[in-house]
Structure 1
Amino acid sequence: YTEASLVRKLEELGIGRPSTYAPTISTIQQREYVEKGNKDGEERTFNVMTLKDNQIKDENNSEITGAEKSKLFPTDTGIVVNDFLTEYFPDILDYNFTASVEKDFDEIAEGEVQWTSIMKTFYDKFHPSVENTLAIKTEHKVGERILGEDPESGKPVSVKIGRFGPMAQIGTVDDEEKPRFAQLKKGQSIETITLEEVLELFKLPRTLGEYEGKTVSVGVGRFGPYVLHNKVYVSLPKTMDPMTITLEEAEQLILEKRAKEAERHIKQFEEEPELEILNGRYGPYIAYKGNNYKIPKDIIPQDLSLTNCLELVRIQDEKGETSSAKRGKRTAKKK
């Protein structure tokens, strides 16, 4: 579905109201049940035979099929959650249930029925379903697939949904040694990934060599592939593969990050290490004790002294114009 066609489907099934459509679509994307994107089509060749004036013309043509644009694609997490709810809560995951609840809401709003009686009727059926589901002991987690054995250790290799999304695992929690884990790459799915593809993931992290006397390694974490050097992480561009990146390419990424960091730090003060002038997304600002302070546009940041900075901090604190460095939110002064 596109966002528009999904809304039309919700209307057709009687699910939700106009005011709930946008929050619903936003929520399923924020929780990563679906992701919005494009899908490249595949070229297909076909044969065309035309009869004209008793003559047969035979030619081969090609076309692109299966291409999608700005569609909502279900993720592994969305598929697993949907399968679980459909299996254990079929009465709730039913189009007619949602539509009937809307009618109940209308009756409550019109004063024809008490909301407490509606809630009691719902929980009389829902609560036992929850208790029964909690009591069920399954051998494997919902959505988990056993792909085979690791040829080196002989331990089982599986894929499942972990805390941070789709992941692969070698071994089990019952083993003496802790299981090994690896995040799936973007574009890989626990539904279709093969044993060979999973074993490739466990070749990371790998050591590329040394730079400036420190080890350079490459791995994949929660936020994607990275280069690690001297306890500093550098994200890999989408165009680079962690399995093929060279030491020279990694060194270039390290130097580029250092250059960006140097541009970010405008000025520091030995007398007050907690105060620093930085270059941010919206321009220069003062960072001091976990808070951020604006620098007026008519002031050159490099010309500010420590006394000038502390004065700007004092004025903005009094006006309640401080913003938290952790959340970037305003912290108004209490009166």
Structure 2
Amino acid sequence: ARKQIQELYGKEYVPNAPRTYAKKVKNAQEAHEAIRPAGDSFRKPESVAADVGLDEARLYEMIWKRTIASQMEDAKGQRVSVRIRATTSFGEAEFSTSGNTISFPGFLRAYVEGSDDPAAELGDKEKYLPQLEEGQAPKGKAFEAQSHETQPPARFTEASLVRRLEELGVGRPSTYASTVSTILDRGYVWKKGTALVPSFKAFAVISLLEQHFGHLVDYAFTAKMEDELDEIASGQQNATPWLSRFYFGSGGPDGKGGAAADGPNGKTTNGSNGGIHTDIGLHAMVSDHLDKIDARAINTLPVGKSDDGEEICIRVGRYGPYLQCGEATVSIPENTAPDEMTLDKAKELLSAPTGDVSLGDDPETGLPVYLKQGRYGAYVQLGDMEEGEEKPKTSSLLKDQKPEDITFEGALKLLSLPRVVGKDPSDGEEIIANNGRYGAYITKGTENRSLERDEQLFTVTVEEALAILAKPKERRRRAAAPPLKELGNDPVSGQPITLRHGRFGNYVTDGETNASLRAQDDPDSITPERAHELLQLRREAGPSTKKKKAPKKKAAKKKATKKKASKKKAPKKKAAPKKA
């Protein structure tokens, strides 16, 4: 690499000694083997492109540039910041800007290799400022006010969470995947696009740990414990004494004490017990704290006060989070992010009707009709629940209906379901329209088909129902997730471009062509221009050609060897004794 750098760019780009790089993660057990360029010389990307496909050429170019750049001199330049104060009729205003110039490109020269004009590419990385002196009074040609809104820190994604764990020295490359899957499986976070959103349960768990086991959730404790586990893995400590001291403390399981030999060859080391106090141990620590833990207080998150001055709080219960104000409670809708639960939102949920709402009396039966709230949402009910009697008839609301929009007439229509549409003239079997878990549908015997619109439940005729039942059954698919971002129209297809998250990560699409984002593309800051470029590159690459698997040869069936049935000899009859 050093020889090629000198040939391409000159001696000044080659450092005095080869550069070596230490691992970023302390004592990391690498998750997979690194790409290690080998050989006496590296072919330039343009010479390789003719021999391989488009994707392979791009991959080689990236590896080549990074390999060459890793053995080049640092880039050198100058950064200048300028602040200009001005006195106006409204008070004093301050303007600031910054510029930078590159005096020596260093490793940056490799990254612009292959462009039509490398000097211009490097120039784009510079921002020049006019010559200014301290105290100078420059004249402004034009002033333009631009709004600027600060944004809160972005939520963690899986990738950014792993980067943060690396910075803190928590975990190792081989454990990051299981860490992320654990917090998802236990419901501590849920995914909104690519972002990891904390749940109310996570707040309750953290509250418990911080109040009663603060050092267990301290980053330094976890990092220290990781170091000691690394020592065990490398043979510098023995696992069993370390675990005994961690769990039981220095007194041991019988409480008699005695130093345990945790070092190799039976030698005692000065292990810190993974941050647990040596005299106590985890077992005693938990046992001593159990009677001090107030489960109700731990599972309570304050929100604010109502208009009457009563405390409004979130409680994490067995069946999920809910709001409480005095005696009033209401469930929090699923997938509500904690930052969305403002005081105004809490008041809105608590003020919504939660009890039974009487809508009127059914003219046919004379029974009262109620609008009720259940565990799975709102529904209407005909009659009251009487002990020892049959349960009253109920009907769930349709997919697009809201409780506040339900009228007495609408409730009666819902209670008319299931509705007998009529009989099939060919066999006399009834066709029934009903509302189910997945929406409106019709059924005849064991056959059922979905209806396109909920209104068809009350209007579909026998002829229409038979036509729907005659169609082949469609396999139900999950509804497509909404796009993460809209990026305008594609100049080639004219179709709108959207950013979406799929099975293999983030991608942009115009409905006809899909293009995955590259490693350097940030979903939060991707521009329409970059989306156009990715789609065009994907079109130029053409359709992917997957190698067909060779059909498996069927194993020749061995003919079963027929066993010859052994003929059983009939028992010889004894000769009857002759009569005398």
TM-score w.r.t. structure 1 length? 0.54
CA distance in 2, matches of 1:216, 1:134: 46
Are 2:191 and 2:197, in contact at CA under 8 Å, matched by a contact in 1? Answer: yes
Q: Tell me which residue corresponds to 2:283.
A: 127
Among 96, 99, 104, which residue is 2:228 paired with? Answer: 104
Among 339, 342, 345, which residue is 1:192 paired with? Answer: 342
The 1:114–1:263 alpha-carbon spacing in structure 2 relative to 1, beyond 3 Å, is farther
Q: Residues 259-270 of structure 1: matches in 2 within 5 Å?
A: 260=441, 262=443, 265-266=446-447
Q: Tell me which residue corresponds to 2:549.
A: none
CA distance in 2, matches of 1:263, 1:24: 49
CA distance in 2, matches of 1:92, 1:264: 60
CA distance in 2, matches of 1:84, 1:95: 16
Instruction: Determine if the alignment matches structure 1 residue 226 to structure 2 residue 387.
Output: no
- SS of 1:262 mapped into structure 2: strand
Q: Which amino acid in structure 1 is aligned with residue 357 of structure 2?
A: R
Q: Which has the higher contact order (CA 8 A, sep 6+)?
A: 1
Alignment size in residue pairs: 229
Task: Give the drift of 1:210.
Answer: 6.3
Q: Tell me which residue corresponds to 2:165.
A: 10
Q: Which amino acid in structure 2 is aligned with residue 23 of structure 1?
A: S
The 1:4–1:137 alpha-carbon spacing in structure 2 relative to 1, beyond 3 Å, is closer
Q: Deviations over 1:42-88 (max 9, x none)?
A: xxxxxxxxxxxxxxxxxxxxxxxxxxx53111122212222221222
Unaligned runs of 5+ in 1: 38-68, 172-178, 268-278, 284-335
Instruction: Determine if the alignment matches structure 1 residue 166 to structure 2 residue 314.
Output: no
Q: Tell me which residue corresponds to 1:241.
A: 402
The 1:7–1:168 alpha-carbon spacing in structure 2 relative to 1, beyond 3 Å, is same
Task: Give the drift of 1:181.
Answer: 4.1
| Structure 1, 86-95 or 27-36: larger mean CA deviation | 27-36
The 1:74–1:96 alpha-carbon spacing in structure 2 relative to 1, beyond 3 Å, is same
- SS of 1:218 mapped into structure 2: strand
The 1:217–1:117 alpha-carbon spacing in structure 2 relative to 1, beyond 3 Å, is same
Task: Give the drift of 1:249.
Answer: 5.2
Task: Give the drift of 1:162.
Answer: 0.7
Are 1:156 and 1:170, in contact at CA under 8 Å, matched by a contact in 2? Answer: yes
Q: Which amino acid in structure 1 is aligned with residue 297 of structure 2?
A: K
The 1:95–1:133 alpha-carbon spacing in structure 2 relative to 1, beyond 3 Å, is same
Are 1:88 and 1:133, in contact at CA under 8 Å, matched by a contact in 2? Answer: yes
The 1:24–1:280 alpha-carbon spacing in structure 2 relative to 1, beyond 3 Å, is farther
- SS of 2:435 mapped into structure 1: helix
CA distance in 2, matches of 1:31, 1:77: 9
CA distance in 1, matches of 2:380, 2:200: 28
- SS of 2:348 mapped into structure 1: helix
Are 1:92 and 1:98, in contact at CA under 8 Å, matched by a contact in 2? Answer: yes
- SS of 2:205 mapped into structure 1: helix
CA distance in 2, matches of 1:281, 1:20: 42
Identity of aligned residues (%): 31
Are 2:303 and 2:342, in contact at CA under 8 Å, matched by a contact in 1? Answer: no
Are 1:147 and 1:156, in contact at CA under 8 Å, matched by a contact in 2? Answer: yes
Q: Tell me which residue corresponds to 1:113.
A: 237
What value does the CA root-mean-square deviation take over the aligned residues? 4.1
CA distance in 2, matches of 1:7, 1:83: 23
Q: Tell me which residue corresponds to 1:45.
A: none
Unaligned runs of 5+ in 2: 1-155, 250-280, 382-391, 419-433, 449-471, 477-580
Are 1:205 and 1:218, in contact at CA under 8 Å, matched by a contact in 2? Answer: yes
Instruction: Determine if the alignment matches structure 1 residue 182 to structure 2 residue 344.
Output: no
CA distance in 1, matches of 2:395, 2:174: 43
CA distance in 1, matches of 2:409, 2:172: 56
Q: Residues 151-162 of structure 1: matches in 2 within 5 Å?
A: 158-162=313-317
CA distance in 2, matches of 1:30, 1:281: 32
Q: Tell me which residue corresponds to 1:315.
A: none
CA distance in 2, matches of 1:25, 1:247: 49
Q: Residues 16-95 of structure 1: matches in 2 within 5 Å?
A: 16-37=171-192, 70-95=194-219
Are 1:208 and 1:216, in contact at CA under 8 Å, matched by a contact in 2? Answer: yes
CA distance in 2, matches of 1:23, 1:137: 29
Q: Deviations over 1:218-268 (max 9, x none)?
A: 3142x4x2324455563663x54334444555545955416537369449x
Larger-Rg structure: 2
CA distance in 2, matches of 1:280, 1:131: 59
The 1:139–1:257 alpha-carbon spacing in structure 2 relative to 1, beyond 3 Å, is closer
CA distance in 1, matches of 2:282, 2:354: 46
Q: Deviations over 1:145-170 (max 9, x none)?
A: 3866897xx99765311112211346
- SS of 1:161 mapped into structure 2: strand
The 1:117–1:103 alpha-carbon spacing in structure 2 relative to 1, beyond 3 Å, is same
CA distance in 2, matches of 1:18, 1:263: 56
Are 2:299 and 2:317, in contact at CA under 8 Å, matched by a contact in 1? Answer: no
Task: Give the drift of 1:141.
Answer: 2.0
| Structure 1, 181-190 or 111-120: larger mean CA deviation | 181-190
CA distance in 2, matches of 1:30, 1:208: 43
Q: Tell me which residue corresponds to 1:141.
A: 297
Are 2:199 and 2:337, in contact at CA under 8 Å, matched by a contact in 1? Answer: no
- SS of 1:168 mapped into structure 2: strand
CA distance in 1, matches of 2:287, 2:296: 19
- SS of 1:91 mapped into structure 2: helix
- SS of 2:217 mapped into structure 1: coil
Higher strand fraction (1 or 2): 1
CA distance in 1, matches of 2:435, 2:317: 31
Are 2:306 and 2:347, in contact at CA under 8 Å, matched by a contact in 1? Answer: no
Task: Give the drift of 1:197.
Answer: 2.9
